Amino acid sequence: MMEPGNTALSNGSHIRTMVRQLLPGVVLPGVIYLVVSRGAPVMVALLAASSVPLIDALSRLARGRAPTPVSLLFLFVACVSGTLAVVFHSPMFILAKGAAVSAGMGLAFGLSGLFGRPLTRTLALRLSAEHREARAHLAERWGHPRAHTVFRVLSLGWGILLLLSAGQQVLVALTMSPGAVMLLEGPVRTVITGLGVVISVLYVRRMQQLHPDLHLVPALVRVPA
């Protein structure tokens, strides 16, 4: 069993890693837009700000690491939105990119929960265990109907939250300047995501307390001495 000190160090390391991964996507688009827009048209500044996924992919390759599927997805979306913006001479394709991603993810999560194939369970399995055997063990543990219901509720909740976020992003894109959109989109999205994570954790912990046999939260699972 891991000692408390090692656990704290591990948790601190995970938090620092998450901050390093999330910070560029939150800060860089706005900073790049502000710098480039001083000497270039709005469209050029927006295209430069949209290059963050490309920068991330190149930095990973330079360190000998393959880009993650999520980073490749964001790179693809950035390329499509940038191309459409240039072809149709409309910055709205770039400004509404975040709303389109949020809406697509919201529909995916919502429909997965509605049809009994919750994406939250799939993501939890991949994030909670690195090896196939461990994932199979967790899948068996979480195969209980009550646990399945918890994951369905989580998927539906995330679907609703992401769709509401998409609506907020559309409203911002239509009513605010491109610079304000670039500056606010990342931080606001981070706050909304953080709120969703907190609510999800509180809900899962509550269900774990009501039904200890679910073993949904690793921290609440007793390890034999």
3-state secondary structure the chain: CCCHHHHHHHHHHHHHHHHHHHHHHHHHHHHHHHHHHCCCCHHHHHHHHCCHHHHHHHHHHHCCCCCCHHHHHHHHHHHHHHHHHHHHCCCHHHHCHHHHHHHHHHHHHHHHHHCCCCHHHHHHHHHHCCCHHHHHHHHHHCCCHHHHHHHHHHHHHHHHHHHHHHHHHHHHHHHCCHHHHHHHHHHHHHHHHHHHHHHHHHHHHHHHHHCHHHCCCHHHCCCCC
Cα separation of 137 and 140, whole Å?
Answer: 5
User: How high is the pLDDT of residue 217?
Assistant: 62
Chain segment 53-63, per-residue pLDDT in tens:
888 888 888 98
User: What is the greatest pairwise CA distance in the chain?
Assistant: 66
Same domain, 116 and 180: yes
138 pLDDT more than 90: no
- Among 100, 207, 101, smallest CA distance to 153 is for 207
pLDDT band at 221 (very low <50, low <70, confident <90, very high): very low
What mean pLDDT is predicted for residues 178-200? 91
Q: Considering 66, 91, 116, which residue would you say is the last residue of a domain? A: 91
User: How high is the pLDDT of residue 129?
Assistant: 60
Same domain, 63 and 100: no
User: How high is the pLDDT of residue 224?
Assistant: 40
1 pLDDT more than 70: no
On average, the pLDDT of the chain sits at: 82
Same domain, 25 and 114: no
What mean pLDDT is predicted for residues 209-217? 76
User: How high is the pLDDT of residue 196?
Assistant: 93
Same domain, 79 and 146: no
What mean pLDDT is predicted for residues 147-155? 92
User: How high is the pLDDT of residue 10?
Assistant: 41
User: How high is the pLDDT of residue 4?
Assistant: 45
pTM: 0.79
pLDDT band at 86 (very low <50, low <70, confident <90, very high): very high
User: How high is the pLDDT of residue 24?
Assistant: 64
Same domain, 69 and 142: no
Cα separation of 124 and 37, whole Å?
Answer: 41
User: How high is the pLDDT of residue 159?
Assistant: 97
208 pLDDT more than 80: yes
Query: What is the count of structural domains for the chain?
Result: 2
Residue 185 lies in domain? 96-225
Same domain, 216 and 143: yes
